Amino acid sequence: MPKQVDHDKRRVVFAAAAYRVIARVGLSRVTVREIAKEAGFTTGALVHYFSSKDQVLIQASEYSALVVRQRMEKHAVTLHGMDALRHVLFESLPMTAEMRGMWNVWLGFWDRSSHSAKIKLLTKTRYEEWMGRIAHLIQNAQVAGELSDGIDPARAAQAVVAMIDGIGVRVLLTGISISPARQKEMVDDWLAQLPRPAAARRPHVRRKGAGNGAEVAAE
């Protein structure tokens, strides 16, 4: 009997291989042949599952999003308020070799999205998910009383995403070194500038009367 093939698992294998190759060499240098070799299959086997290079790249993006999403969701569940927000933002920084590889994938997709409507749509979807996640965490911090209710979560999320994108571009494309400690510090500086709730006003204390019969009253 012919061997039964789990096609869904095979697609995941190819997606993971595409992700690893892009992370290693960048999107501009990736080839279908190299992806197939990385996965341990022939080019013909890969083409059987994906009709175009863009389809392979989209699946690689899905795979990379899954890896990061799991880490972020863990922080969102195990931490609370500002701590959750802070650690989720840290997960997006190019502080490790693995995350710099992840940024190779993202930067490649930014470039490719200007030529491919499908990848442009996927990039838009990823950004909406990413900014929505941050906005939700900001709202949680507001509910916890750690951030001011006057903050617009969507606008704040847009601002910090732009800052993190800037860090990624500088580290990956300009050759400028920003240490992991400095990257964290930049995020912490941004978080520190977010308005906090107004401190509860202390009651004003005055004394009524005089002498040994003085009475303390709060206004």
Side-chain-side CA neighbours of 8 within 13 Å: the count stands at 0
pLDDT band at 205 (very low <50, low <70, confident <90, very high): very low
The answer to whether residue 216 sits within a structural domain is: no
pLDDT at 128 over 60: yes
The answer to whether residue 2 sits within a structural domain is: no
The answer to whether residue 201 sits within a structural domain is: no
The answer to whether residue 184 sits within a structural domain is: yes
In sequence order, what are the residues at sequence separation of 6 or more whose Cβ sits closer than 8 angstroms to the Cβ of residue 163?
A: 186, 187, 190
Instruction: Provide DSSP, 65-79.
Output: HHHHHHHHHHHHHHS
The answer to whether residue 215 sits within a structural domain is: no
DSSP 8-state code for residue 209? S
Q: Residue 96 sits in a domain of what CATH number?
A: 1.10.357.10
pLDDT, tens digit (0-9, with 9 covering 90-100), for 36-72: 999 998 888 888 888 787 888 888 888 888 888 889 9
Q: How far apart are CA 120 and CA 125, in angstroms?
A: 9
- What is the pLDDT at residue 53? 78
Q: Which of 98, 82, 91 is nearest to 141 (CA)?
A: 82
The answer to whether residue 213 sits within a structural domain is: no
pLDDT at 2 over 60: no
β-partners of residue 207 are 216
DSSP 8-state code for residue 114? T
Domain residues for the domain of 169 are 7-192
CA angle, corner 30, sides to 29 and 31, nearest 5?
Answer: 120
Sign of the dihedral defined by the CA atoms of residues 89, 95, 100, 102, in that order: negative
The answer to whether residue 123 sits within a structural domain is: yes
For helices 180-192 and 81-90, give the axis angle rounded to 10 degrees.
140
Task: Give the amino acid at 179.
Answer: S
pLDDT at 12 over 80: yes
Overall number of domains in the chain:
1
pTM here is 0.79
